[in-house]
């Protein structure tokens, strides 16, 4: 089969899936046929012995101070529900994408080709970069096109991720597998002291709870979630862990884990099966001031955290799934057993990992962002942001310091995400934050009827054409209009 013909066929399949559930269900039921069409493009989620799949590290090429990465968003198949072949999508593969490493102070160029058969965009979630490079809806590009953003890495060490962000199709594209991690490295003392050998003692954990029918058709909207016969598979790095505990052998006593909740809507809490503690070192936006012993880490959709384990015996990690939307997963899943095979003795963790100067918000400009709903239509400040014209726009200026009250007037759970700059929590439902909530965030839970107060400073970038987004990271809510634009202008 020629490359061209193969491409055409799998494009048509993905478009068929977008047009309605019937197309995808048929593909799922006849998975073998689709696997032939995609010619080797089937995601191998785990070895036969159920060892943890580690996403590839994407090799860049560096010339003249710029590191170039090449990504293709493409379709394929994967086993999302055990024993069933699903139509999926991924970057440079059939499901999920490779991990990128960016270095603080360097410049990156990404050549991203769209081979999905539909418009897409690629957003660098949590990165502090120009609005024109942010990958929001204004950066959507068509099938067959290549988008080539380039920017300097201003972020310090943290765990980011990349995923589609085009209007109305974000949930569909992310749940089918379009998501990957970005590790930002820097030359801080903390980074030097922490494990950083990718796949050896620095381990990515992309967790997802999806919704799929018995034919493997992955659901992404209200109609899909309300259809019958659904299951809610839980995946770790693309492998179904509903009834399987994956294994990882740690060859260093201390292992670092970077966890992403890439679910469209469900909340995932990560903990140890023995009730012991995790040593949390980072939130969404980098290191905590000092490592914190925690018994669990609660991640809303889109959120990340990092922790380390100093292992003397095997530890099993589990995730507790809580439905964030109309329907979703539930229960506790042992997803990974980490077995030590090491004899080294790591030095004590640094007593200080980071300096976080708390914002004094006395003179910050106050703003209220209201998360609302009218029937199935979601809105921000009364505007349902399903199109660029219909969404509310917040105008601010370079170096503005602001404190926002994110007020949830609905009884639904939301996951508030702000592009461009990190924020500090000032209050959560009226209560001052403590513990790991004193870190930096870009995504945070807003419970039904609740509110969070956050503070931020709009540094470095202005644009009078391209806008950042602020939205609910329950992807169905985002697609239903819970999204607004942020324009940072010259002062």
Task: Spell out, one character per residue from 204 to 243, where the chain touches Cu ion: x when CB under 5 A holds, - when not.
Answer: ----------------------------------------
**Burial (CB count within 10 angstroms: exposed 0-12, middle 13-18, buried 19+), residue 306:** buried
Q: Which residues ranging from 242 to 281 are in contact with Cu ion (CB under 5 A)?
A: none
Of 43-51, 137-145, 305-313, 409-417, the window that binds Cu ion (rule: CB under 5 A) is: 409-417
Q: Pick the stretch among 200-208, 384-392, 408-416, 453-461 that binds Cu ion (CB under 5 A).
A: 408-416
Q: What is the 3-state secondary structure (H, E, C) of 242-272?
A: CCCCEEEEECCCEEEEEEEECCCCCEEEEEE
User: Would you say 388 and 485 are in contact if contact means Cβ atoms under 8 Å apart?
Assistant: yes
Shortest separation between residue 227's beta carbon and Cu ion, angstroms: 21
89 alpha carbon, distance to own chain's centre: 15
Report, in Å, the least distance between residue 463 CB and Cu ion: 26
Q: Name the DSSP class of 310.
A: E
Place of tokens 């259809």: 227
Select from 10, 163, 414, 453 the one that contacts Cu ion (CB under 5 A): 414
Structural tokens at position 6: 């193969």
How near is the Cβ of 3 to Cu ion at its closest, in Å? 41
Question: Is the CB of residue 253 less than 8 Å from the CB of residue 344?
Answer: yes
CA distances from 332 to 29, 239, 329 (A): 29, 16, 10
Query: Which residue is associated with the tokens 């960016």?
Result: 102
What is the number of other CB atoms lying within 10 angstroms of the CB of residue 320? Answer: 16
Q: Which residue's CB is nearer to Cu ion, number 315 or number 472?
A: 472
The full DSSP string for 76-134 is: EEE-SSTT--EEEEEESSSSB--BEEEETT-EEEEEEEEESSS-B--EEET----GGGS
Q: Which of 133, 234, 472, 485 binds Cu ion (CB under 5 A)?
A: 472
The residue range among 170-178, 336-344, 383-391, 465-473 that interacts with Cu ion, by the rule CB under 5 A, is 465-473
Nearest to Cu ion of 217, 445 (CB atom): 445
If the CB atoms of residues 73 and 378 are measured against Cu ion, the closer one turns out to be 378
> What would the two tokens of residue 304 be?
């990340």
Closest CA to 129 of 158, 99, 108, 98: 108
Query: Residue 166 or residue 267: which is nearer to Cu ion going by CB?
Result: 267
Closer to Cu ion by Cβ: residue 184 or 425: 425
477 belongs to the binding site for Cu ion (CB under 5 A): yes
- Quick one: which of 474, 475, 484, 485 contacts Cu ion (CB under 5 A)? 474
What is the size of the binding site for Cu ion (CB under 5 A)? 4
Q: Using the minimum distance from each CB to Cu ion, give the nearer residue, 258 or 477.
A: 477
Least distance in Å: CB of 228 to Cu ion? 24
Q: Of 93 and 264, which has the nearer Cβ to Cu ion?
A: 264
Nearest Cα neighbor of 319 from 237, 435, 439 is: 237
Angle, in degrees to the nearest 10, between helices 3-19 and 21-29: 130
Nearest residue to 65 via CA among 9, 106, 115: 106
List, in order, residues 6 or more apart from 391 with CB less than 8 Å away.
380, 383, 384, 385, 481, 483, 484, 485
Q: Which stretch binds Cu ion (CB under 5 A): 17-25, 196-204, 325-333, 472-480?
A: 472-480
Q: How far is the CB of 417 from Cu ion (least distance, A)?
A: 10
Q: Is 64 exposed, middle or buried (0-12, 13-18, 19+ CB in 10 A)?
A: exposed
Residue 110 vs 475, nearer CB to Cu ion: 475
Stretch that binds Cu ion, among 179-187, 275-283, 305-313, 411-419 (CB under 5 A): 411-419
User: In the numeric block, which tokens belong to residue 369?
Assistant: 């962002």
- Give the nearer residue to Cu ion in terms of CB position, either 362 or 411: 411
Interatomic CA distance for residues 45 and 51, integer angstroms: 10
Give the residue with the Cβ less far from Cu ion, 231 or 322.
322
Bridge partners of residue 254, in order along the sequence: 310
Would you say 350 or 450 has its CB closer to Cu ion? 450
Residue 417 within binding range of Cu ion, rule CB under 5 A: no
Of 77-85, 106-114, 225-233, 467-475: span binding Cu ion (CB under 5 A): 467-475
DSSP 423: E
Kindly state the smallest distance separating residue 363's Cβ from Cu ion, in Å.
31
Q: Is 182 in the site for Cu ion (CB under 5 A)?
A: no
Q: Which residues bind Cu ion (CB under 5 A)?
A: 414, 472, 474, 477
């Amino acid at each position: 089969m020629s490359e061209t013909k193969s491409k055409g066929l799998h494009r048509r399949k993905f478009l068929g899936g977008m047009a309605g559930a019937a197309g995808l269900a048929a593909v799922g039921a006849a998975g073998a046929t689709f696997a032939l069409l995609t010619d080797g493009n089937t995601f191998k989620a785990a070895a036969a012995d159920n060892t943890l799949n580690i996403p590839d590290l994407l090799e860049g090429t560096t010339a003249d101070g710029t590191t170039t990465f090449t990504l293709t968003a493409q379709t394929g198949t994967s086993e999302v529900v055990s024993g069933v072949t699903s139509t999926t999508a991924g970057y440079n593969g059939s499901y999920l994408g490779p991990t990128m490493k960016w270095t603080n102070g360097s410049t990156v160029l990404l050549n991203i080709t769209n081979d999905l058969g539909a418009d897409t965009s690629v957003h660098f979630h949590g990165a502090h970069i120009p609005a024109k490079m942010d990958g929001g809806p204004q950066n959507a590009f068509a099938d067959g096109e290549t988008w080539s953003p380039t920017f300097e890495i201003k972020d310090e060490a943290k765990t980011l991720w990349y995923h589609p962000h085009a209007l109305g199709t974000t949930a569909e594209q992310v749940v089918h597998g379009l998501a990957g991690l970005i590790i930002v490295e820097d030359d801080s003392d903390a980074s030097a002291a922490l494990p950083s050998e990718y796949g050896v003692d620095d381990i990515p954990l992309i967790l997802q709870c999806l919704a799929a029918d018995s034919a493997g058709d992955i659901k992404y909207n209200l109609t899909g979630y309300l259809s019958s016969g659904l299951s809610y598979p839980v995946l770790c790095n693309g492998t179904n862990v509903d009834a399987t505990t994956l294994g990882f052998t740690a060859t260093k006593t201390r292992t670092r884990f970077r966890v992403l909740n890439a679910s469209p809507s469900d909340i995932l809490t990560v903990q140890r099966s023995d009730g012991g503690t995790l040593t949390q070192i980072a939130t969404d936006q980098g290191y905590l001031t000092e490592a914190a012993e925690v018994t669990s880490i609660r991640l809303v959709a889109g959120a990340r955290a990092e922790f380390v384990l100093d292992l003397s015996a095997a530890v099993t990690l589990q995730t507790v799934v809580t439905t964030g939307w109309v329907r979703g997963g539930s229960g506790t899943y042992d997803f990974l057993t980490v077995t030590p095979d090491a004899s080294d003795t790591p030095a004590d963790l640094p007593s200080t990992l980071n300096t976080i100067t708390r914002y004094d918000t006395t003179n910050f400009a106050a703003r209220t962002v209201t998360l609302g709903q009218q029937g199935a239509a979601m809105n921000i400040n009364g505007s349902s942001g399903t199109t660029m014209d219909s969404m509310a726009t917040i105008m601010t200026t370079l170096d503005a310091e602001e404190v926002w009250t994110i007020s949830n007037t609905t009884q639904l759970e939301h996951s508030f995400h702000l592009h461009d700059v990190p924020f500090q929590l000032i209050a959560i439902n009226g209560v001052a934050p403590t513990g790991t909530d004193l870190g930096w965030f870009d995504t945070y839970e807003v419970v039904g009827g609740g509110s969070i107060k956050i503070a931020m400073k709009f540094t470095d970038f202005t644009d009078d054409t391209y806008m950042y987004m602020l939205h609910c990271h329950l992807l169905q809510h985002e697609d239903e209009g819970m999204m607004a634009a942020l324009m940072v202008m010259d002062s």
